[in-house]
Every structure is written in C-alpha cells, then in structure tokens.
Amino acid sequence: MFELKKLLTTPIVKVAAIATSSLIINVSPSQATITDSSTVPQANSSPKFLSQELQIVTDSSLIKPKIPDINPLTTKTLPTSVNFFNQSTQKPSHTPSTLNLADTSQVEWSPNSSAPVNSYSDNVVKPNSDFDEENTSTDESLGQINSVAQFSDVQPTDWAFQALQSLVERYGCIAGYPNGTFRGNRALTRYEFAAGLNACLDRINELIATAITDLVTKEDLTSLRRLQEEFSTELATLRGRVDALEARTSELEANQFSLTTKLFGNTIVQTNAYFSGDENAQANIQYLTFLGFLTSFTGRDLLVTGIGTTNTTFAETAPNNNGRNVGGTREGASNASSAGDLGNNFRIITLDYQFPLSDNLTVNLVAGNRYRFSPISLPRFAPYYVSGVGPVGSFAEAPPIFLIGAGSGVGLNYKVLDSTVINLSYLATFGDNSSFGGLFNGEYVASAQINYNPNPGLFLQFVYQHGYFYPGNFGFNNGQGFRGNGFVGTALANRFDDAGVLFDNASAVTTNAYSLGGYFALSPKVAIGGWANLIKARLLGTGDADIWTYSIQAAFPDLFRKGNHGGLIVGMEPTLTGVRSNIPYAPFKNDTSLHIEAYYAHRVSEKISITPSLTWITAPNQDADNQDIVIGGLRTTFSF
C-alpha cells in the first residue's frame, strides 16, 4: 500500500485517481475502461484497502506511455475517457475459424462443399468479488461527464472536487453513472490505481500528440512523471498481466474447439397413382426416412454418417421389349424409392470422412456408401434441387452416370481457382469384403470431374468415369448388384449383361462413361440446364454396348409465392441404343422413350412442403408398342 500522506501532497491528478470506485479493465484498441469497488477515506482518516483480483478482458494491451519533458509529439490511438464505474465484462469480439454445420445442403450436395461451423464456449472469467448490490449492477450503462457539477454526490466543498474537475473538464477521462453519482466512497488497491493512472496518461499523451499544449501544463506533466515513477512496479505488472492474457487468448483461438454433431434429415411420404400403363401398376403410398449426422473433431474436418429406412418397392411396369419379357422398366420411379426396399429397417447407408490437407486440397475417405450418390463425386444438378423438395423423379435429380457403382474408397478435391474444383475418386463396390476382391481386386468405379462454378447462377461440369463390374452386376443401381433393374432407366439399359436377356451367358463389363452438364440462371426467377451422358460398355469376351441418357430442365424459383418453386423436365432415361457383337443375341427395340415431368413444390412451413407432380413416360422400356405410363404423384416432405 502507498501512503495517503504522500498522495495528498501530490497534484490533483493523483488524488482523483484514488477517489475512484468499482474497477475492472476492459481494454480495446480505442478505449480503456476501469472500474473497482473501494472506499475513499475522509481527509482525517487512514485509507482502508480491499484485496481484490483485477480482471482484464481484452484483445489489446495496456501501453505505458512515455511522459515527455514538456511537449513531445507522439502519435497513438488512445481512449477518450476512462470508465471508473462499469463492472460488466465484455466478451472477446474475435472467434476462431470453424466449420459450418448449420448448412447441411452444402455439406451434402454442393460442388464446392465446405465443412460446418461449430460453436464454442466463451472462456471469460467473471470478476471475483463480494460487492454490494448497489455496486454490482451490470445493467447500468456509463455516460460521459462534461462537468463535475453533474455528480450529485460531489459538492464544491469536497476535497475531491478540484481533482475531478481537472480530470473531467481538462482531460475528459472520467465517466459517471447514469444516476449522476460519482460513488467516491470506496478504496482501491495500488494495481487498480495504476490502471486508472495508465488510462489518464494515455489521454494526456493524445492531447500532446494533437498539439493541444495549453490543456496540458508543465506542472501536470511533472506530477504525472512522479506518479509513473511511484507506480512503475504496478504499471509493469499490469502490462505483464495483459501480455499473459493475450498469449492465453491466442492459445485458445488456436486450440479451442467444441466437438459438435449436427443432426439433419427428412422424411418423404410419396403417393403414386397410375392412370395408364401396365394394368398391374396400382396406386401406392411409400416413405423414405434419411437421418444424417455431421460431426467435426478439429473444426475443419467433417464426418458424415447417414442412416435410413424405407418401405418402397418398384412397380414392375411395361416389362416387354420386342415381345420378350426383359423385366420391368424403372422409368418414372420416384426419388422416394432411390434407396430400394430396406424392409422398414434402419441401415447405415453412407459413411464419409472429409479433412483438408491444405487450403486447396481436401481428402474424402468413404467407408461405406449405399445410398443414392457418392458425396465425393456428385453435386446436385441445381441449387433448387434440395433432397425432398426438388423434382419427384429419381431421373431428374442428377445425371444417372453417378448411379453407376459406389462403395468404399477415397476421393480428392482440389480447388484450382475459387470457381474451379477438380475431383478424383476411387470407389470399390466390395471394399469391405475380401472374398469379392476387396478394395483393389474387384468391382470399382474411378472418376475424374471438373466443376466450374463462378457464381451461384452458373455451373458447368464434365465427368469421366471408368468402371469394372462382375457378370450381371452392371446397372444404374448405386453399386447394389442385387438390384438388377437399377433405380432409373429401361430394363435393357440395366440388364444387357444378364444371362438370358440378350446373350445366353452373363458377362463381366468394363465401362468408359462421359457426362457434360450444367445450369444457368436466366434471372432470379428462371433457371435452365441439363446434361448428356454416354456410357460405352464392353462385355468382356462378348461385344460392346452403348447407353445414352439426356435431360433438359427448367426451374422457376418463387413461382406464385416466395419459397415455392416449380419445375419442368424433358429427357430420355438411360436407354440401350446399340449392341455390337460377333455372337448372336436377341433382337431388341430402341425406340425413344421420353420422360416428361412437371411438379410444383409448395412450402406449407419452413420444414414442411407438399409437391404435386405429373410424370408421363412415352414408349416405356424403349418400345413404342407398350402403353404410355402416366403417374400422378403427391409428395409430402418433413425436413429437420
């Protein structure tokens, strides 16, 4: 403690600093605020000090200004006032860079998907004190004092009047309570006094730097120099505390992370009514539930775990081609059936871990993918095609090339430019089963793609894909060979390698597939796009086959009402267009079969949408002799 006698003999600046109350320091680049709870002694009494922790919440540091002899010109950004009263703490304004778990659509589908955001807990230490209720109020804001007369509890006859007058009217480094009180009946420690002194030193330095020399007298500078010498130890301690706090804050920014898992998903209830086509196709109601868990361990990585269940089955419509039963077509199948029939049992249907190797390179490890499309190789065709609220048909959601094969493997995403991403991936269908070749000696799909996305209204994509499939296992079936007829396309496009369909024996197949597609927003209300896929298949030891598919699409965001949208799709689902072989095979028809779909997604609320649709399939199963199929659909989607 310091001697009151010595302080009372020093100029008014010192005395005013002792007369302060309620001290916590909040330091920012522009202002230092100081408060403490203490009691100012009467003139004839000895000071009584309270031992109290000084708490600093800051992203800056206290700077000990060098007091010049008379009038040096220095340049600094300094506070305009010292707050001796506020006892509230402030949280750091900076937050660490983290991933965004809130945007699940980007994580699942975006061409340039990024990791999710995680929240973190503030580590702001609250002041340790036993203040009375009057002085611990945290909801009292401070006001700048322009005259000492504004203090209702400071009279002109008080010993502190002149000291406060100097600080308030000459230097402007005091603020008061909203009720117009000074609350000068508290004591403070040497450290707290040093903090107040430091702030006033900064304010006076600012006045000197702006050449307002008539406000800073030589006597004041002399007094301040003496105070600085008297409290040099305390000022140094304050600086040390701030430095330590800054170091700790930097460490927290670099290392602190709250492990967070984000749950998202949807349930689709699909009703289908067949107005024409095969007489065995009856109205039905089906559902698909998908739950996704997004987990980040470092703030930059992402673990995607997906589970799902469904009771969907396929209507075995138009099974004939050229008078032969080749199996029911999958044309017009809804996206509710895109996982196949899981028998109302939940299964893990995707497991994917993404992490960055650098700012531009991301690695994806896929432990299992049995649902729809691989997350490392497929962006949604358009930003309006969010799962469950876009097109009703599986065919319209994305290029069918992405349904050829799936499984376990690895992918690399390299951002060449902000607008351009190159993706390389390798997926093994039976990567989990050594008996079927495991990762490198069985079925696989290797792909390379370039995504060009300079702005939200333009997206272009080129894909090359090479694959190998066991006899009878080729199909647009997401790597599930037991689903011989696939999820989209004609039966011949999915089963040309099966025994008894075209050839007597099943054949292993290698493929070279190509896709070119994209979309363009003509306006905020209209977007157009499409794709064309060519699959060149070689039946090993048998012959070659060609499969074509294409689509032209239009989307109308905010149609009739904000948040709703409509769509129109015209295209040809995967169709076997030609076979070349020296071995005799069964003749087949390759009539052009069109998929024509119109839908309108109406948002009942933010999380519920209803989508009526109408789908028309001409010449189903690539045979004009088959009756056209017309499907009326009503889909209800619950998202969360």
Per-residue pLDDT tens digits for 116-135: 333 323 333 333 333 343 44
Q: What is the mean pLDDT of residues 548-561?
A: 93
Give the integer Cα–Cα distance in Å for 271 and 635.
Answer: 6
Provide the pLDDT confidence category of residue 37 given band limits of 50, 70 and 90: very low
Instruction: Average the pLDDT over 609-618 and give the result.
Output: 95
pLDDT value of position 205: 76
Start-to-end C-alpha separation, the chain:
62
Say how many C-beta atoms besides its own lie within 10 A of residue 150's C-beta. 15
Using the 8-state DSSP alphabet, how is residue 110 labeled? -
Sorting pLDDT into bands at 50, 70 and 90, what band is 617?
Answer: very high
Most confident of 242-256, 440-454, 611-625: 611-625
Confidence of residue 389 (pLDDT cuts 50, 70, 90): confident
The residue written with tokens 């024996």 in the block is 505
The CATH code that applies to domain 260-639 is: 2.40.160.10
pLDDT tens string 361-382: 999 888 876 544 444 444 455 5
Q: Where are the domains of the chain?
A: 4-87+131-217, 260-639
pTM: 0.62
Least-confidence region, from 68-77, 566-575, 584-593: 68-77
Confidence of residue 260 (pLDDT cuts 50, 70, 90): confident
- pLDDT at residue 72 in the model: 33
Measured at the CA of 43, the angle between CA 41 and CA 44, to 5 degrees, comes to 100
The closest alpha carbon to 41, from 2, 4, 10, belongs to 4
b vs e for 175-206, b when ≥16 Cβ sit within 10 Å of the residue's Cβ?
bbbeeebbbbebbbbbbbbbbbbbbbbbbbbb
Helix count and strand count (H, E) for the chain: 9, 23
pLDDT digits (tens, 9 = 90+) for 315-357: 888 899 999 999 889 998 888 876 666 777 888 888 889 999 9
**Residue 571 predicted with pLDDT over 50:** yes
Which DSSP helix (H) or strand (E) runs through 205?
helix 190-209
| Whether pLDDT at 7 is above 60 | no
Q: Across residues 231-258, what is the average pLDDT?
A: 73
Q: Are 501 and 585 in contact (CB under 8 A)?
A: no
Confidence label for 199 from pLDDT (cuts 50, 70 and 90):
confident
Res. 74: pLDDT tops 50: no
Q: Compare 179 and 237 and report the one with higher pLDDT.
A: 237
Give the best-scoring range by mean pLDDT among 274-288, 372-386, 387-401.
Answer: 387-401
* Interatomic CA distance for residues 77 and 328, integer angstroms: 78
Does position 103 have pLDDT exceeding 50, yes or no?
A: no
pLDDT for the residue 203: 76
Percent of the chain whose pLDDT exceeds 70: 61
Per-residue buried b or exposed e for 258-294, using 16+ beta carbons within 10 Å of the residue's own CB: eebebebbbbbbbbbebeebbeebeeeebebbbbbbb
CB 611 within 8 A of CB 582: no
Instruction: Please say if the pLDDT value at position 113 is more than 80.
Output: no
What mean pLDDT is reported for the chain? 72
Distance of CA 469 to the CA centre of its chain: 37
The mean pLDDT of 608-636, rounded to a whole number, is 94
What pLDDT shows up at residue 168?
A: 61
Say if residue 416's pLDDT is above 90.
yes
Q: Say whether pLDDT at 108 is over 50.
A: no
Q: How confident is the model at residue 227 (pLDDT cuts 50, 70, 90)?
A: low
Question: How far apart (Å, rounded) are the C-alpha atoms in residues 556 and 627?
Answer: 31
Encoding tokens for residue 625? Answer: 């002799």
The pLDDT confidence band at residue 485, using thresholds 50, 70 and 90, is: confident
Nearest alpha-carbon partner for 394 in 374, 378, 371, 372: 372
**C-alpha–C-alpha distance, residues 457 and 398, integer Å:** 17
Q: Are 293 and 263 in contact (CB under 8 A)?
A: yes
Q: pLDDT at position 540, please?
A: 94
- Specify which residues 452 forms β-bridges with: 420, 460
